[in-house]
C-alpha cells in the first residue's frame, strides 16, 4: 500500500512529500503567466517545437549558471555536462538504460531511498548493501572489502541529507568514494535531490566537483538532481550532471532522438523562474520552514524523552525531509508501527522498509518520521501519539 494513503484521522508521519503550504503556488502562477505572454507572441523554436536532445541551450546554460552560482568554491559547471530530465527517478532510469546490463552489481547503502531500489531492480541489477554510518555516511571498510571480492559496476547513494538517515557525506568521504570508483572502475550514481534543502554549516561541493572534469569512459561520478524538492514534484524537471561522453550517450537514446528532450516545455518554464531569482527566493523560504518543522519535531521528541520516559535517540538533521529515529532496544519496530497506525492513529515508516535487500530475520531499530508533510500542530500531535504507542507497548497492552 502507498504510504501516502492513510485512513481518515490518521496522522501521516510516513510520507515524504512537501506540505501544500510549502509549494510555490504564487511563483508558479506568475511563471506561467510570464511564459504565456511570451508564447502568445514569440516565434522562437524554444517555445513549442521539439527540443534539442540534451535540452535547449538556454535551459542548459541557465541550470549550469545556477549550479555554478550556488556551488561555493567548486569549479563552474559546463552546459556540456548536463542532460535535462523529468527528475531524479527519470535520470536514474535513463542512465541505467545506457550504462547497465542485467546482472551488473550495484552497491546501495543500508538503509537507502527505497523507491530508487525499484528502479535498480527494473534493470535487473544485483544489489549489495553497505551500511551507512552517522559520521561518514558509508562504511568504507565494508565497501573496500566488497570491492576486493567482486566487480562492482555502480554505487547508488543519496549524498546530502539522505533519505532516510539525514546523513551527508563529508568532503573527505566524497573524495575517498571517487578515488575508490576510479581504482575499482565503477560509477557513483549520486542522488543530490536534498542538497538545496539545507541549513547550518555549508555543505561540501556537489559530487561531480570531486571527479575529473571529463574522466575515464567507464567510471566516475554521475549526479542526478531535480526541482521536485526545490519547487514542486509535479513539475517533473531535473538534470543529470555527468562527463560529456555520458551526456552524449543519454542524448542518443532512441526516444530522445525521436521526441527531443522529454522535459522541453516545463524546463522552459523553470528557466524563467531561475533567471528571475524566484527559485532562490523560494529556497530561502523553504529552508526556514523546514528548519522550523525539524526543530519542533526534535523539541517534541526531547520532551517525550525527558518527561514521558521514551528513550529514543537521533542525530539532529540539518536539511532534507527526514529524521532517523532510533527506538528503545525493547521495542519491536514492526509491531509498534502496526499498532501505532491501527490503535493510535499515527503512521510512520518502519526502518525495515528502507532496505533495498530483504534479509531474513533482520530487525529494524529505527522509524523515519518526515517533517515536511505536516503542519507544526499536527507534527506535535503525531509525536505525542507515537510516544503513547511506545509506552502502551512497554506496559504490555499490545503495541510492542
Q: Is 279 in the site for ligand PLP (CB under 6 A)?
A: no
- Number of Cβ atoms within 10 Å of the Cβ of 265: 15
* Contacts of 244 by beta carbon, 8 Å cutoff, 6+ apart: 78, 80, 81, 214
Residue 56 or 85 having the CB closest to ligand PLP:
85
Min dist. Cβ of residue 121 to ligand PLP (A): 15
The Cα-based distances of 126 to 43, 177, 182, 212, 268 in angstroms read: 49, 20, 21, 28, 38
Report the alpha-carbon distance of residue 196 to residue 159 in Å, rounded: 12
Among 16, 204, 319, 351, binds ligand PLP (CB under 6 A): 16
Q: Could you tell me which stretch among 26-34, 86-94, 201-209, 296-304 binds ligand PLP (CB under 6 A)? A: 86-94
Residue 3 is a binding residue for ligand PLP (CB under 6 A):
no
Q: Tell me the window of 28-36, 225-233, 279-287, 352-360 that interacts with ligand PLP (CB under 6 A).
A: 225-233
By CB under 6 A, residue 109 contacts ligand PLP: no
**Separation of CA 183 from chain center:** 27
Q: Which of 67, 143, 177, 193 touches ligand PLP (CB under 6 A)?
A: 193
49 vs 233, which CB is nearer to ligand PLP? 233
Nearer to ligand PLP, 67 or 88 (CB): 88
Per CB under 6 A, the segment of 1-9, 83-91, 99-107, 372-380 that binds ligand PLP is 83-91
- Is position 87 an interface residue for ligand PLP (rule: CB under 6 A)? yes
Q: State which residue, 221 or 339, has the beta carbon closest to ligand PLP.
A: 221
Q: Is 165 in the site for ligand PLP (CB under 6 A)?
A: no
Q: Which is nearer to ligand PLP, 228 or 347 (CB)?
A: 228
Q: Residue 17 Cβ, how far from ligand PLP at the closest point, in Å?
A: 8
Q: Determine the 3-state secondary structure of 284 from DSSP.
A: helix
Cα gap 12→368, rounded to integer Å:
11
Residue closest to ligand PLP (Cβ): 87
Cell of 246: 555520458
Q: Which residues contact 352 (CB under 8 A, 6 or more apart)?
A: 333, 334, 362, 363, 364
- Rounded CA-CA distance 90/238 in Å is 9
Within 232-251, the residues that bind ligand PLP by CB under 6 A are: 233, 238
Q: Which residues in the 23-62 window bind ligand PLP by CB under 6 A?
A: none
CB 222 within 8 A of CB 315: no
Least distance between ligand PLP and beta carbon 136 (Å)? 18
Q: Peptide bond preceding 164: is omega within 30 degrees of 0, i.e. cis? A: yes
Position 89 contacts ligand PLP (CB under 6 A): yes
Task: Report helix, strand or coil for 225.
Answer: strand
Cell of 195: 542538497
Extract the C-alpha cell encoding 97.
Answer: 538504460
Q: Point out which span in 82-90, 172-180, 292-300, 369-377 binds ligand PLP (CB under 6 A).
A: 82-90
| Total chain residues near ligand PLP (CB under 6 A) | 14
Q: For 123, how many CA atoms within 13 A lie in the half-sphere containing its CB?
A: 21
**Using CB under 6 A, which residues numbered 111 to 140 contact ligand PLP?**
113, 116
Do 187 and 105 contact (CB within 8 A), yes or no? no
Contact between 228 and ligand PLP by CB under 6 A: the answer reads yes
When asked if residue 88 is in the footprint of ligand PLP (CB under 6 A), the reply is yes
Q: At what angle do helices 264-275 and 25-41 cross, to 10 degrees?
A: 110
Element (DSSP H or E) covering residue 157: strand 154-158
Shortest gap between Cβ of 88 and ligand PLP (angstroms)?
A: 4
Residue with grid cell 529524521, as numbered in its chain? 323
Residues interacting with ligand PLP, by CB under 6 A?
Answer: 16, 87-89, 113, 116, 158, 163, 191, 193, 226, 228, 233, 238
Amino acid at each position: 500500500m502507498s504510504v501516502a494513503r492513510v485512513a481518515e484521522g490518521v496522522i501521516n508521519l510516513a510520507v515524504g512529500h512537501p506540505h501544500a503550504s510549502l509549494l510555490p503556488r504564487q511563483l508558479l502562477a506568475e511563471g506561467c503567466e510570464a511564459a504565456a505572454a511570451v508564447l502568445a507572441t514569440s516565434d522562437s523554436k524554444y517555445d513549442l517545437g521539439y527540443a534539442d536532445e540534451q535540452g535547449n541551450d538556454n535551459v542548459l546554460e541557465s541550470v549550469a549558471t545556477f549550479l555554478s552560482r550556488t556551488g561555493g568554491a567548486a569549479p563552474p559547471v559546463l552546459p556540456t555536462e548536463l542532460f535535462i530530465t523529468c527528475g531524479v527517478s527519470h535520470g536514474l532510469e535513463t542512465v541505467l538504460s545506457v550504462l547497465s546490463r542485467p546482472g551488473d552489481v550495484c552497491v546501495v547503502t543500508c538503509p537507502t531511498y527505497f523507491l530508487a531500489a525499484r528502479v535498480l531492480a527494473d534493470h535487473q541489477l544485483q544489489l549489495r548493501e553497505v551500511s551507512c554510518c552517522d559520521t561518514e555516511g558509508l562504511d568504507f571498510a565494508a565497501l573496500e572489502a566488497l570491492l576486493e571480492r567482486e566487480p562492482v559496476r555502480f554505487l547508488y547513494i543519496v549524498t546530502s541529507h539522505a533519505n532516510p538517515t539525514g546523513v551527508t557525506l563529508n568532503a573527505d568521504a566524497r573524495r575517498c568514494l571517487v578515488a575508490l570508483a576510479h581504482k575499482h572502475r565503477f560509477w557513483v550514481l549520486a542522488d543530490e535531490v536534498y542538497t538545496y534543502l539545507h541549513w547550518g554549516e555549508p555543505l561540501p561541493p556537489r559530487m561531480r566537483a570531486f571527479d575529473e572534469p571529463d574522466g575515464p569512459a567507464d567510471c566516475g561520478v554521475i549526479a542526478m538532481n531535480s526541482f521536485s524538492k526545490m519547487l514542486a514534484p509535479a513539475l517533473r524537471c531535473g538534470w543529470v550532471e555527468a562527463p560529456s561522453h555520458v551526456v552524449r550517450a543519454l542524448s542518443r537514446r532512441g526516444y530522445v532522438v525521436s521526441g527531443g528532450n522529454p522535459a522541453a516545455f516545463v524546463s522552459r518554464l523553470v528557466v524563467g523562474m531561475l533567471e528571475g531569482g524566484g527559485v532562490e527566493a523560494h529556497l530561502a523560504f523553504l529552508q526556514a520552514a523546514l528548519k522550523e518543522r525539524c526543530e519542533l519535531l526534535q523539541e517534541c521528541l526531547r520532551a517525550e524523552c525527558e518527561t514521558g520516559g521514551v528513550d529514543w535517540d537521533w542525530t539532529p538533521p540539518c536539511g532534507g525531509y527526514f529524521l532517523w529515529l532510533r527506538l528503545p532496544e525493547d521495542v519491536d519496530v514492526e509491531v509498534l508501527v502496526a499498532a501505532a497506525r491501527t490503535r493510535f492513529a499515527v503512521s510512520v515508516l518502519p526502518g525495515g522498509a528502507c532496505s533495498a535487500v530483504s534479509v531474513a530475520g533482520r530487525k529494524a531499530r529505527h522509524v523515519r518520521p518526515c517533517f515536511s508533510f505536516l503542519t507544526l500542530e499536527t507534527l506535535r500531535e503525531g509525536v505525542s501519539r507515537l510516544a503513547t504507542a511506545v509506552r502502551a507497548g512497554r506496559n504490555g497492552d499490545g503495541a510492542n
